[in-house]
């Protein structure tokens, strides 16, 4: 009995082309040291356990005394902790969450915490300033920046629209 070749089926051919394109892109990816992968996992685990537990407690206690902005903050931080569950299992795929974590904490430190600190006033106690600074520094160390550059800045962008296929039916 003769087996069908891959070229006999156009659908298989198309998916094979996509797989070959994906594999060729992945082969060009810079290697990520295992310590960085495990470092990312450790941060994702910490986000799930600490951030998730704290935010879930706030949500379960009730929202009656929250301002809309406080509610927004707790909701977004809880969602961040939920997404971090995926980062435990696929840390490289969930790198954008860690980059987001760096950016929002840096913005908070510069915009919210720095002005009162410079004025010798009390810093708002929503987030620990020392913990945020240490956390940002450690996250910056474990992020594989060569991979981030390769993945998000050197790869071709997704097309804005698909090319129209010419129909051979007349």
Residue 110 belongs to some domain of the structure? yes
Give CA–CA dist 93/96, Å, rounded: 8
Residue 94 maps to a domain: yes
Domain-embedded: residue 166: no
pLDDT digits (tens, 9 = 90+) for 140-155: 999 999 999 999 999 8
Residue 87 included in any domain: yes
Please count the structural domains in the chain: 1
- Asked if the structure places residue 159 within a domain, the reply is no
Cα distances from 60 to residues 54, 64, 77, 150, 170, in angstroms, run 10, 11, 14, 42, 64
Is 0.95 topped by the overall pTM?
A: no
Residue 125 belongs to what domain range?
Answer: 33-154
For residue 123, is it left (φ>0), alpha (ψ between -120 and 50) or beta? Answer: beta
Amino acid 147: pLDDT: 95
Domain membership flag for residue 168: no
Q: Does residue 160 fall inside a structural domain?
A: no
**What local confidence, expressed as pLDDT, does residue 14 receive?**
47
pLDDT (mean) for 80-101: 96
Q: What is the DSSP string of the chain?
A: -PPPPGGG-HHHHHHHHHHHHHHHHHHTSPP--HHHHHHHHHHHHHIIIIIIHHHHHHHHH-STT--HHHHHHHHHHHHHHHHHHHHHH-TTTTHHHHHHHHHHHHHHIIIIIHHHHHTT-PPPTTS-HHHHHHHHHHHHHHS-HHHHHIIIIISPPPPSSPPPPPP---
Please write the tens of the pLDDT for every residue from 3-57: 444 444 444 444 555 555 555 556 788 999 999 999 999 999 999 999 999 999 8
Check residue 119 and give its pLDDT: 87
Inside any domain, residue 7: no
């Amino acid at each position: 009995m003769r087996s069908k070749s891959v070229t006999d089926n156009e659908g298989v051919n198309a998916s094979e082309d996509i797989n070959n394109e994906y594999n060729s892109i992945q082969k060009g990816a810079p290697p990520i040291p295992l310590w960085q992968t495990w470092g990312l996992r450790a941060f994702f685990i910490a986000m799930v356990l600490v951030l998730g537990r704290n935010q879930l407690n706030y949500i379960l206690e009730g929202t009656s005394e929250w301002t809309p902005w406080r509610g927004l903050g707790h909701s977004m931080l809880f969602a961040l902790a939920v997404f971090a569950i995926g980062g435990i299992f696929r840390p490289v795929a969930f790198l954008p969450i860690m980059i987001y974590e760096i950016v929002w904490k840096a913005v908070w430190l510069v915009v919210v915490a720095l002005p009162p600190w410079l004025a010798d006033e009390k810093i708002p106690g929503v987030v620990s300033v020392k913990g945020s600074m240490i956390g940002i520094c450690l996250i910056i160390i474990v992020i594989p920046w060569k991979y981030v550059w390769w993945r998000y800045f050197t790869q071709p962008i997704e097309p804005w629209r698909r090319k129209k296929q010419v129909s051979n039916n007349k």
